[in-house]
Amino acid sequence: MMTREQLIWAISEMENDVDRKNIAAHDQAQRVVIARLEAEHKDLVLRNKLLRDRPDLPLERIQAYDEVITKVEQQAKENKTMREALQLLYDTQNGCPLPKYEADWNRAMELAARALREKVTGA
């Protein structure tokens, strides 16, 4: 027959065994989840690399493309507006306002004429 202390110790050992088994099962489940997540991560990294390295990847799928196109369109509108303003100023000039500004005025008109002659791209 077991003494009370021996019975308490045996029950405690059984509880510890159950706890150890539960912990071991939990640890194993966590290892499985970690392994699955690592595999998924590696797969996503490889897919991302594949998509980025593909020469046939449509530019429209890249977010930066949209940002660049928007900026180019804005700059084209600004360029068109400035060219129209420059053309209007150039067309309405009827000579230098004061002789002391003649050199600067001639240089400005030369630059305006050159800028207006250049081919406009993106507008």
What is the pLDDT at residue 56? 72
For the whole model, what pTM was predicted? Answer: 0.44
Mean pLDDT of 45-67: 73
Tokens 């021996």 — which residue? 6
Does residue 73 carry a pLDDT above 90?
yes
C-alpha to C-alpha distance for 78 and 75, rounded to whole angstroms: 5
**What is the rounded average pLDDT for all residues in the chain?**
82
Does residue 117 carry a pLDDT above 70?
yes
- Residue count of the chain: 123
What is the pLDDT at residue 122? 45
Query: Token pair for residue 20?
Result: 């150890």
C-alpha to C-alpha distance for 109 and 100, rounded to whole angstroms: 15
End-to-end CA distance of the chain: 101
What is the pLDDT at residue 123? 43
Does residue 89 carry a pLDDT above 50?
yes
Helices (H), 54-62: none
Q: Domain extents for the chain? A: 1-57, 60-118
